[in-house]
Structure 1
């Protein structure tokens, strides 16, 4: 049995206290605890503590420290249960204490995967260009159950998906002005799929895009791409072979035959 002989405040952390014990051989440092643990267990001078009580106090303090870490981690943004568990494991928290902390956080309504999923969906809708499939994938990677993730996506309406996807598509079409209209549309479709938009949304967006290219812009794109192909192949081929390589290259890029023939006449056959 040890007697608690002194309690002192730590110099670097006024919320933590050093506990000194006398186990029969004079006073010595025993352990330290947080202020909450000190108050909860009513530690005071001359209290007698056996080894089991000392270990219980140390465990209680470790639990409090880990709980405080979890609270601090939650202070930046909402977290999923998996994120909290992973974080506490990184901090080498005892597995049993992790379960206890998770239970406490849930009871205090600080941890709820359904609320977390809904919050993340709303955030992605307002701050990113991600489609629903990518948002769902992100939720599942964060440990949210697939059905919970699917339910949360009800907060990402079809109209919002169309609006976001169309805005992105129009911007990409403007940025890809030196490509053929056909290639621009194909790349919009491909990119929207990569961003996690569904087929019905993509079809609706494509239907709302201009279905005919601007003749002037299309011709400028043919010239730009044709000249690139000429530079690429002119050192490797000439005459008929050069023409065929350029024509094939422009066709692969989605240009119409009449535009390709016009380029051949103006930039190759007369050169």
Structure 2
């Protein structure tokens, strides 16, 4: 039966120890494993015990890798599992690590989900549908999802939707009022805000345009359209212009006004 003849601390990793059996280096173990198995000079170990010790050390190394991964931020169990899989740990090792993490309350998918929701709320860039989708991708189960999303109140959702809507509207003032409203609603929907929240927020978003602003907007779009339809004339040109400007969200009476004035300008030019 092999006997431990020497135990030495590793120079680079002081929490790991080299184990020598019968004067020969045999393997290394983590300090936790050393203490748990009461490894010391003069101790006899069977082949089975060596296998058990080395298996325990593999679990400990994977556990330490998980702790390092968790040191940057909270993680879901799926994130931890995926990380350890990339490190090529076996499923049995990963299962043991996750069990120990739960035992020490170092992982909790419900608390992780709540913290994730709060972080997204503070950033104010995502609605509940997008947050829920991201949490599902991180492996959080449905009951935890619903509980965590309760952190994101409707009042806060409306506030965030208004802020996002105003930011978008400010960058797209050149659009017609109808087109701007549609794009704001689409943007908020794509960000994960539900229809009811969007409708509640829309009145607080600065998408209304005065007559002068709308007139400036149609002139900009009409000048672009005129260049595209320069080869058309008469009713064909007028129809093309009406269709193009209507698709851009302008009211038909405003379109007719532009075409009337454009016709007068052309005639005056002649």
SS, match of residue 30 in structure 1: strand
Output aligned runs, 1:154-169, within 5 Å: 154-169=150-165
Aligned to 2:202: 206
Hey, what's the Cα distance between the residues in 2 that align with 1:52 and 1:211? Answer: 75
What is the CA distance between 1:223 and its match in structure 2?
A: 1.0
SS, match of residue 270 in structure 1: helix
Kept in 1: contact 2:129–2:193 (CA 8 A): yes
Aligned to 2:255: 260
Aligned to 2:219: 223
Q: Any idea what the Cα deviations from partners look like across 1:160-201, whole Å, max 9, x if unmatched?
A: 000000111122112111110000001111111111111111
Aligned to 2:27: 31
Aligned to 1:7: 7
What is the CA distance between 1:266 and its match in structure 2?
A: 3.5
Kept in 2: contact 1:6–1:19 (CA 8 A): yes
Which of 171, 175, 198 in structure 1 is aligned with 2:171? 175
Which of 109, 114, 129 in structure 2 is aligned with 1:133? 129
Hey, what's the Cα distance between the residues in 2 that align with 1:53 and 1:210? Answer: 73
Kept in 2: contact 1:131–1:196 (CA 8 A): yes
Hey, what's the Cα distance between the residues in 2 that align with 1:183 and 1:210? Answer: 13
Hey, what's the Cα distance between the residues in 2 that align with 1:268 and 1:3? Answer: 104
Hey, what's the Cα distance between the residues in 2 that align with 1:40 and 1:145? Answer: 35
Q: How many residues of Structure 1 are paired with residues of Structure 2 in the alignment?
A: 266
Aligned to 1:151: 147
Hey, what's the Cα distance between the residues in 2 that align with 1:262 and 1:82? Answer: 61
Kept in 2: contact 1:243–1:268 (CA 8 A): no
Which of 54, 60, 80 in structure 2 is aligned with 1:84? 80
Q: Which segments of 5 or more consecutive residues in structure 2 lack a partner in the other structure?
A: none
**1:240 counterpart = 2:235:** yes
Aligned to 1:20: 20
Over 3 Å counting, the alpha-carbon distance change for 1:211 and 1:42 in structure 2 is closer
Q: Which segments of 5 or more consecutive residues in structure 1 lack a partner in the other structure?
A: none
Q: Any idea what the Cα deviations from partners look like across 1:22-55, whole Å, max 9, x if unmatched?
A: 2xxxx32211112222222222222211211111
Hey, what's the Cα distance between the residues in 2 that align with 1:124 and 1:61? Answer: 38
Q: Any idea what the Cα deviations from partners look like across 1:96-153, whole Å, max 9, x if unmatched?
A: 2222221221121111111111111111000131111111111111111112101111
Which of 253, 265, 268 in structure 2 is aligned with 1:270? 265
